[in-house]
Every structure is written in structure tokens, then in C-alpha cells.
Amino acid sequence: MANAPLQGIKVVSFGTGGVIPDFGMILGSLGADVIKVECRENPDFMRTIGGDPENIPGFNESNRNKRGIGLNLKTEKGQEIAMRLVKLADIVGENLRGGVMKSLNLDYESVRKFRPDIIYISSNGYGGTGPYAEYQAYGPMLSAFSGLLSLWCHPTDPYPAGANVPLPDHYASKMLVLAALAALDYRRRTGKGQMVDMSQVEMAANMIGEYYLDYTINERVPQPIGNRSPYAAPYNAYRCKGNDEWCAISVFNDAEWQSFCRAIGSPHWTREAKYADLPSRLKNVEELDKHVEEWTLQHKSREVMMILQNAGVAAGVLYRPAEIIDDPQLGWLDAIVEVDHPVAGKRLYPGVPFHISDVTLPASRPAPLLGQHTEEICREVLKMSPEEISALRDEGVLEFSTRLQEPKK
């Protein structure tokens, strides 16, 4: 088999939550050797929000394709070992609270003294500089700070609710993968490393940049429009037959409108002049939506989608995960992978959707248990002797998972 694209690239990850864990997971899926640093006192916080720290779906998704070392960074020796790892690395990723890496003597300025060509990827809620650099934040708060959340609601809502989604975490992570690869390619050509300082709140802003221009050019504070579109109607999520079943439909131009009308059986209201062209449909959109929903309520959401897509009209079920698993297109694309995790067992995860000719990616590996690979990393990467390893274990610097030796419950 050909080498994986990033074979030989070493990444040390001081990550927690969404952004840097997902960043490392993707680099790992491309064949990099990604080492995640954690310890029992300071684990990735995603391990702490459920019962069993080894059985958290979000953690086990974002930390696939990595090895884990249990290393206590509160100790001076722990920091020294981390620096030894970093010296051997091509890429460092961190999203600990602002200022923490500096307190551990692992910030960019400290690292570059030993590795001038390191690619150092740092991600903070509000960025690594400025008055809020040390403020802790999670994705859903950054979409709030950026103004994105203020637009993510129906105009009649008392306040924006957003979703369960930790936006923009998994966009920021991908932006940083792009950054790391561009920096790696630049280093290949010039020999120079560098630091990238990401502000996740600015990532959220980049998803809706045109709204900021409405403010800076038109001096207008953009208001939420809910599910409406200024240039399509029907355009909404419509209730369908069944419990909390919905289908999104969008009709942009007159040709699509004609197809839509035929597909739903050309009821008499579709021939009324007030729906004849887009400006009229936009003007009478409330009434139009009621008519459309009368039709959708008679069908299951999947039927609505099939009838309309077969007629050339964009329509899509508001999918739940079970429907994702059954989606024939995602099945065709092999979009879902099953990974066997030593504690969680065989579970489903979304694959990272790379389809590149002549590139075969290694099979996805399960997230590490806390301290699962401490010994092999110390032995193989850091070339420690067994005596050194056991001394550091006794001093509480190195931690090892004992989970796999425990009898199965």
C-alpha cells in the first residue's frame, strides 16, 4: 500500500473540547502520528461531562486516530518531557485557556528556541491577543459573541435559541488543518516554521461575513429572517405527517415553481395570480407557506423529499442520525465508519470525507484511553529506558491506563 499523505509527520496535541481534538483527529486520519497529552488531574474536559470518561461519544469521535500519553504537566519533569516530545514534532496544536501554555513553558516563544521550524497552531476563543485573550469560552458562546447567534432565530422569538451544535468549533478545527498543511508546505519550500493564532469568534464571523458588510457599508444592523429567503419562495421547513417530522423545501425560479406545482398535483390555489411569479410569491409568502404545509402534512417527510427531488425541486428531510445511517447517498459514498473502541465497543462515526485520487487513507483508529500509549511513546519516541519510565511513574509524572487489564464487566 502507498504511504499515507502525512506519513512521518509528528503532531503533539495539547487539546481539549472540540477544536484542537478535531484538528488532530483529521491530521491523524491523513496519516500523521498524533500524540495527545493529558493527565488524570487535567483531562480533556470532554471526558468529564458524562459518567465514564472512556465512554463519551463526543470525546471518542474527536480523538480518533491518535495515541495518548498520560503526562502530568503540573510537574517540572512533566513539562520537560513535553518539551522533548515537542522537539521531535513538526506540528504543535493547543487550545488550552489563554496563558496556560506560557505557564507551562510550552508557548511558541519557548518552543521555537529549540525548534525554530516548528509549526505552532494556537486556538483561543477570542484569539491569543487583545483584552479577552485569557477569557475561557466554548463554541456556542462564540457564535453568541460574534453576532451569528443573533441572526439564528425566527423574527418573533424572544431571544435566539441556536441549536445543540457547538458552532463554530468544527469549522475552526478544519480551518486550522488547512493552516497547518499550508504552513507545512511553506516549510517544505523555505525551511521556515511559524505560529498561527486563531480566534474562534472570528471564525464564526467568517461564516457570515456579508452581514458585517451590511453594517460597515450600509450602516444597518442585520436582523434575523428565520427560515425565509429574500430570493426564493416557497423556502422554509414544513411540518410533515408524523411526530415532529419536517422537510425543507426551496423554490428559486419560475421553472422550479412550475415543477413544484405539478409535483404536488397542481391544486387550484397554485394557479392564483398572487403566486404567479417570484415577487408575488415573496409578497404573499405567509399564505403560500400555509398552502404548502397543507400538502406536506399529508405525507411523511421522506415522501415529500422524494416527490420533490424527483421533480427537480430542492427538498430535504430534517434528518435525525438514524436517517443519516439509512441515507443511500451517504451509503454510496462510504460516509460512515464503524470503529471498535476498547471500552465503548463498535460504534458509528462520520468519516472525514476526503475523496482524492490515488490517495488511500489508513483505517480509522479508536480514541486513546487516558494514558493508553504512555509506555510505547516513552519507549519508541522518547527512547526512555524501562528504569527511567518506572521512576517517572513512581514520581507521578507519567500515567498509564490500567483499563485494559481490568476484567470485563
Q: Is 352 in the site for other proteins (CB under 8 A)?
A: yes
Residue closer to other proteins, measured from CB, 137 or 392: 137
Q: Yes or no: say if 337 and 348 are a contact pair by the CB < 8 Å rule.
A: yes
Give the nearer residue to other proteins in terms of CB position, either 88 or 311. 311
The Cα 13–Cα 156 span in angstroms is 43
- Using alpha carbons, list the distances in angstroms from residue 163 to 49, 152, 166, 262: 18, 9, 8, 35
User: If binding is defined by CB under 8 A, does position 258 make contact with other proteins?
Assistant: no
- Residue 103 CA to residue 94 CA, distance in Å, equals 13
Between residues 71 and 119, which has the closer beta carbon with respect to other proteins?
A: 119
The one segment of 85-93, 204-212, 264-272, 383-391 that binds other proteins by CB under 8 A: 204-212
- The footprint of other proteins on residues 279-338 (CB under 8 A) is 309, 312-325, 327-330, 332-333, 335-336
Among 68, 166, 368, 371, binds other proteins (CB under 8 A): 166
Query: Which of residues 350, 383, 386, 404 is near other proteins by CB under 8 A?
Result: 350
Over the window 100 to 139, marking each residue x when it contacts other proteins by CB under 8 A and - when it does not, the resulting string is --------x-----------------xxxxxxx-xxxxx-
244 torsion bin: left (phi>0), alpha (psi -120 to 50), beta (else): left
d(CA 277, CA 201): 40
Using CB under 8 A, which residues numbered 208 to 227 contact other proteins?
Answer: 208-218, 221-222, 224-227
353 in Cβ contact with 335 (< 8 Å): yes
The answer to whether 192 and 122 have CB atoms below 8 angstroms apart is: no
Q: How far is the CB of 385 from other proteins (least distance, A)?
A: 35
Nearer to other proteins, 238 or 400 (CB): 238
Compute CA distances 13 → 35, 83, 201, 322, 331, whole Å: 6, 12, 21, 32, 32
Among 193, 366, 368, 371, binds other proteins (CB under 8 A): 193
Cell numbers placing 226: 428565520
Give the DSSP H or E segment for 278.
Answer: helix 278-283
Nearer to other proteins, 91 or 398 (CB): 91
Q: Tell me how far, at minimum, the Cβ of 114 lies from other proteins, in Å.
A: 16
Strands 10-14 and 336-341: unpaired
Total of residues contacting other proteins (CB under 8 A): 156
User: Closer to other proteins at the Cβ: 82 or 172?
Assistant: 172
Q: Which is nearer to other proteins, 306 or 391 (CB)?
A: 306
Q: Is there binding between residue 144 and other proteins (CB under 8 A)? A: yes
**Residues 6+ positions from 263 with CB-CB distance below 8 Å:** 307, 308, 310, 311, 313
Positions 24 through 83 that interact with other proteins (CB under 8 A): 26, 30, 45, 48-52, 55-58, 60-62
Cβ distance to other proteins smaller for residue 181 or 392:
181
Among 175, 240, 397, 398, binds other proteins (CB under 8 A): 175
Q: Which of 101, 177, 240, 384 binds other proteins (CB under 8 A)?
A: 177
**Interaction between residue 357 and other proteins (CB under 8 A):** yes
What are the strands, taking DSSP E only, across 80-231? 91-94, 119-124, 194-199
Query: Rg of the chain over CA atoms, in angstroms?
Result: 25
Q: Rounded to the nearest 10 degrees, how much is the dihedral formed by the CA atoms of 112, 115, 117, 120? A: -60
Quickly tell me which residue has 487539546 as its cell: 15
